[in-house]
Structure 1
């Protein structure tokens, strides 16, 4: 049974300008990169909602205590006391030397792992002697309790692209011209929606992006949190693989299977052993009608209990997303620099 508690003091909290706040690390917008990326920007929103507290941003190498949640960022955190809940770890990235293709625990860093995104992230930490509980999940799973889905389904298929597939990092950027598989014939342009994960760094803009995604009857995605959102809202979906031809199932434990590690990690954390994917070569046009038929035929909703994951949240809960209640304290989000 999860209870809502408000303790006056918690070792993770700090005072920011006299206000008790959560010190959180995420990939935030900056003057040089002023847009928010959907998955990253949802981290402070979700933590603020669950804790009922304001957020203060902490840099990845800040020597002070800090919490990290959404995103594949666990490998980049160093210095001080680091708490993790639902975070992903890339075992092929070094926290200090970018030329090294492996993870190594950084010095002068104390890790307190409450939960990671999946079993493959856990392996990366465990190989470095970091203790990891067998509790997995992604915080974005709780998004439906904060943002209502679109009232109307306006698109037959949403195609969510990764930032690396865009011509530039702006809201109106098109997919790179050489990625032929994303071309949509004019005859079905009203039904197949290409969606990016970039938005203005405000809660209202994120809400509009989620509305756009949930207005789709189906989703295929190369963005991890495009799929996390689709699964959370129970929208039929598939990982848009860059190899193969058509729909197929891959075994998540098969290291030879061509699937990006973040997706392998997330779905393993949900307890899945195999995953439906749709393969399409980058330089070939996609048969969108065939994609729709494949998703309709092979997708099934994930059966996963989030109780243990929510129990691992390292702060007292001010809002329980599993109670089926609507979140009302939206004013908390207005002061967060996403």
Structure 2
């Protein structure tokens, strides 16, 4: 009964004012979730409202995040991906416009679900809507996933004045980008730390600080494949903790992805 009441309440909110139901989670403040609101509202010029995919049986959108397994028959997918290498969908989405990367697409095709060969996490589009005006102040920015915030590796680097520890648990997208833009390079155990660095042409590496981040690296590999990055070179050895050695671990690359194709596939706006 409570689920029914919540579903009716959401429908009334949608009728009251034009709003787009987009899957994102607010129980833990996390930039990856907040990006859904920020980007969808920028692109569509409409307000975003969260929903429960188990009860909400109207048109809804899956945009940013490893949330695809929660889609229902009314879901329209633009940029989402899977969290794990295996495990099925609860239901086939109404339409798939784009997915995060080739590994997600391969899973969908194995499940006999049509998926166009259009890739990209929509967070890569951030520079089209916000340009920071920061000068470089740090040799390195470190972005721990919220489950890794107390990592000894992070604590050790935080003592270095040339390192900027950036909090992923924020609801201020533009402030986060400002902090990232102060850094010459980025190391992150959060996927969106890597993605946003790439979006703003700041060299980035993934570091796996613990086994607490779900998926065993699937979402990182999915993303790296979508932009043509070498997955082996893109991961920093956790045993490297000296700043100079970390900097020496970076390699030259340019992301290779058609963002116009991704944006043109957008189902709203």
After TM superposition, the score normalised by the length of structure 1 is 0.68
Q: Which runs of 4+ in 1 moved over 6 A?
A: none
Matching residue of 1:54: 47
Find the counterpart in structure 1 of residue 157 from structure 2.
Answer: 184
Q: Give the conservation status (yes or no) of the 8 Å contact 1:221–1:227.
A: yes
Largest Rg, 1 or 2: 1
Is the counterpart of residue 309 in structure 1 residue 262 in structure 2?
yes
Query: Equivalent of 1:67, from 58, 61, 76?
Result: 61
Q: Which structure has more strand as a fraction of its residues?
A: 1
Other-structure match for 1:125: 108
Aligned to 1:263: 220
Maintained 8 Å contact 1:182/1:286: no
Q: Distance in 1 between matches of 2:208 and 2:169?
A: 21
Q: Please say if residues 238 and 299 of structure 1, whose CA atoms lie closer than 8 Å, have aligned partners that are also in contact.
A: no
Q: Which structure has the highest helix share of the two?
A: 2
**CA RMSD between the two structures:** 2.4
In structure 1, the residue matched to 2:169 is: 198
- Contact 1:82/1:112, CA 8 A, preserved across alignment: yes
Q: More deviation in 269-278 or 215-224?
A: 269-278
Kindly indicate whether residue 169 of structure 2 is the aligned counterpart of residue 218 of structure 1.
no
Q: Name the structure 2 match of 1:324.
A: none
> Residue 158 of structure 1 contacts residue 192 of structure 1 at CA under 8 Å; is this kept in 2?
yes
1:198 match: secondary structure? coil
Gaps of 5+ in 1: 1-13, 93-101, 167-174, 244-258, 318-338
Structure 2 portions without partners, runs of 5+: 1-11, 211-215
Partner-residue secondary structure (3-state), 1:183: helix
Q: 2:80 aligns with which of 77, 87, 96?
A: 87
State the SS of the aligned residue for 1:106. coil
Pick from 41, 45, 48 the counterpart of residue 38 of structure 2: 45
Give 1:299's aligned residue. 252
- The answer to whether the Cα contact below 8 Å between 2:226 and 2:257 also exists between their aligned partners in 1 is no
2:192 equivalent to 1:234? no
2:64, 2:79 within 8 Å by CA — same for their partners in 1?
Answer: yes
**Does the C-alpha gap of structure 1 residues 273 and 288 become closer, same or farther in structure 2, counting only changes over 3 Å?**
closer
TM-score for both structures, normalised by structure 2: 0.85
Residue 23 (structure 1) aligned to one of 21, 24, 28: 21
8 A Cα contact 1:150 1:215, kept in partner? no
Q: Distance in 1 between matches of 2:181 and 2:221?
A: 23
Shift of 1:15: 7.3
C-alpha distance in 2, partners of 1:261/1:314? 26
